[in-house]
């Protein structure tokens, strides 16, 4: 999957429309609580400025209604974007129309303009051609550095490519390279770790991974659906009874393909869903009524480590337990340490999904991973093997 990037085009003196994913979280005083998504585009933006481009940044925040709620205005991120990029960022109170057009026309090489929230216009999500054309009229070239929305066919990432040449920024290029190319030709042994609460969220990923991997580790809340489907007692543990057939079908498929499946052999259970609950460790077939499994047990953690020993490609999506509570973070920590060790020994490791990234951050091992994906739903769909419209719209190299 070879796509054109900003290195393949002449940016000098050009106005660049750059779709970024700055959908950052805020506290109640509108202070940004995590600026990872802004930091992630720094390399792309700085490169474009150095090449003599005038950069027009376009993004969305939250899910605004037609009322244009102030809390979703991009004006709240201007200061932080300015600090990260080292340039006083200008701001336009709309993304199309006279004010946006004037601000874009006045923009000089080396300057940055941030447009108002794209989703204040319902035409953005509808991929309306007239709206896409208005966005395109602001610039000479389109750059897509918003992997996080690449599973959506919207005007600013897909529609605009009908009117301007669209190329990838460095962040997008990295996602395509790590996820796309790694899945196309992985070094073996290839181990996937799929966790999180629900099978329904990840069944497509599990199915696609079984087609590609040598070993799949299934942990977190979703493991209880696999256990219950096989007749094991799970007490009050989270479970999706309507997914029993699918869970059993995936286990059968893995067996037919010779893929090793690692499910928990013991569990840390609690008598209440809280940080102060009473806990005990039991074998997977000994969960009593009234108790719920909230983490892997020590024997399971050993199995995770064993499965990852010698791995050459690792994909991890979803935590192994309720890592937000320290008492139930051991399984996730064991995986994080084993993935970090595998990476140190030459494996390519990819971690994706908000919870996995938060869990990794908690372990302090983020810098020991080859690639941390910036997408949520986009990462999942990429791992499922789906074609993402935002990537498809980028010009082929």
Which residues are registered as beta bridge partners of 279? Answer: 270
Task: Judge whether 63 is annotated as a binding position.
Answer: yes
Catalytic one among 52, 86, 290, 354?
354
Task: Judge whether 318 is annotated as a binding position.
Answer: no
Q: If you search the block for the tokens 């990037």, which residue do you land on?
A: 5
Task: Judge whether 62 is annotated as a binding position.
Answer: yes
Catalytic one among 110, 180, 204, 377?
377
Catalytic residue flag (residue 253): no
Task: Judge whether 23 is annotated as a binding position.
Answer: yes
Residue 106 CB partners (closer than 8 Å, separation 6+) = none
Q: If you search the block for the tokens 């994909």, which residue do you land on?
A: 315
Task: Judge whether 61 is annotated as a binding position.
Answer: yes
Task: Judge whether 207 is annotated as a binding position.
Answer: no
Task: Judge whether 324 is annotated as a binding position.
Answer: yes
Catalytic one among 14, 198, 260, 362?
198
Q: Kindly report the three-state secondary structure assignment for every residue of the chain.
A: CCECEHHHCCCCCCEEEEECCCCCCECCCCCECCCHHHHCCHHHHHHHHHCCCEEEEECCCCCCCCCCCHHHCHHHHHHHHHHHHCCCCEECCCCCCHHHHHHHHHCCCCCEEECCCHHHCHHHHCCCHHHHHHHHCCCCEEEECCHHHCCCCCCCCCHHHHCCCEEECHHHHHHHHHHHHHHHCCCCCEEEEECCCCHHHHHHHHHHHHCCCCEEEECCCHHHHHHHHCCCCCCCCCCCHHHHHHHHHHHHHHHHHCCEEECCCEEEEECCCCCCCCEEEEECCCCCCCCEEEEECHHHHHHHHHHHCCCCEEEEECCCCCCCCHHHCHHHHHHHHHHHHHHHCCCEEEEECHHHHHHHHHHCCHHHCCEECCCCHHHHHHHCCCCCHHHHCCCEC
Catalytic one among 15, 19, 37, 243?
37
Task: Judge whether 29 is annotated as a binding position.
Answer: no
Task: Judge whether 121 is annotated as a binding position.
Answer: no
Catalytic residue flag (residue 352): no
Q: If you search the block for the tokens 């256990």, which residue do you land on?
A: 227
Catalytic residue flag (residue 198): yes
Task: Judge whether 260 is annotated as a binding position.
Answer: no
Q: What residues are designated binding site? A: 21-23, 37, 60-63, 119, 152, 202, 324, 353-356
Q: What residues are designated binding site for ATP? A: 202, 324, 353-356
Q: What residues are designated binding site for (2R)-3-phosphoglycerate? A: 37, 119, 152
Q: What residues are designated binding site for substrate? A: 21-23, 37, 60-63, 119, 152
Instruction: State the catalytic residues.
Output: 37, 198, 354, 377
């Amino acid at each position: 999957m070879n796509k054109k990037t900003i290195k393949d085009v002449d940016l000098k003196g050009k106005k660049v429309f750059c779709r970024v994913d700055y959908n950052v979280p805020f506290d109640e005083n509108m202070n940004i609580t995590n600026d990872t998504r802004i930091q992630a585009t720094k390399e792309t933006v700085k490169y474009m400025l150095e090449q003599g481009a005038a950069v027009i940044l376009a993004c969305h925040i939250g899910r605004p209604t037609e009322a244009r709620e102030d809390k979703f205005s991009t004006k709240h991120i201007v200061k932080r974007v300015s600090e990260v990029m080292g340039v006083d960022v200008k701001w336009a109170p709309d993304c199309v129309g006279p004010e946006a057009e004037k601000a874009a026309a006045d923009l000089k090489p080396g300057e940055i303009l941030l447009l108002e929230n794209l989703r204040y216009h319902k035409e953005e999500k509808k991929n309306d051609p007239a709206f896409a054309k208005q966005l395109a009229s602001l610039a000479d070239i389109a750059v897509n550095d918003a992997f996080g929305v690449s599973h959506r066919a919207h005007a600013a990432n897909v529609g605009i490519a009908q009117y301007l040449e669209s190329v990838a920024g460095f962040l997008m290029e990295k996602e395509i390279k790590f996820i796309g190319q790694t899945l196309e030709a992985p070094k073996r042994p290839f181990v996937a770790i799929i966790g999180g609460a629900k099978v329904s969220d990840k069944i497509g990923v599990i199915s696609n991974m079984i087609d590609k991997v040598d070993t799949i580790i299934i942990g977190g809340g979703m493991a209880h659906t696999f256990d219950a489907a096989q007749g094991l007692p799970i007490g009050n543990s989270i479970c999706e009874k309507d997914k029993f057939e699918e869970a059993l079908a995936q286990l059968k498929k893995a067996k037919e393909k010779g893929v090793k499946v690692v499910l928990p052999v013991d569990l840390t259970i609690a008598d209440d869903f809280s940080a102060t609950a009473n806990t005990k460790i039991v074998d997977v077939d000994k969960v009593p009524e009234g108790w719920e499994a909230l983490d892997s047990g020590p024997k399971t953690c050993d199995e995770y480590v064993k499965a990852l020993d010698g791995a050459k490609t690792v994909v991890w999506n979803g935590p192994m337990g309720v890592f937000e509570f320290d008492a139930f973070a051991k399984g996730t920590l064991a995986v994080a340490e084993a993935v970090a060790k595998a990476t140190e020994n030459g494996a390519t490791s990819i971690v994706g999904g908000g919870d996995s990234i938060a869990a990794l951050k908690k372990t302090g091992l983020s810098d020991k991973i080859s690639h941390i994906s910036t997408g949520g739903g986009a990462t999942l769909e990429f791992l499922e093997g789906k074609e993402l419209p935002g990537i498809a719209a980028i010009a082929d190299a």
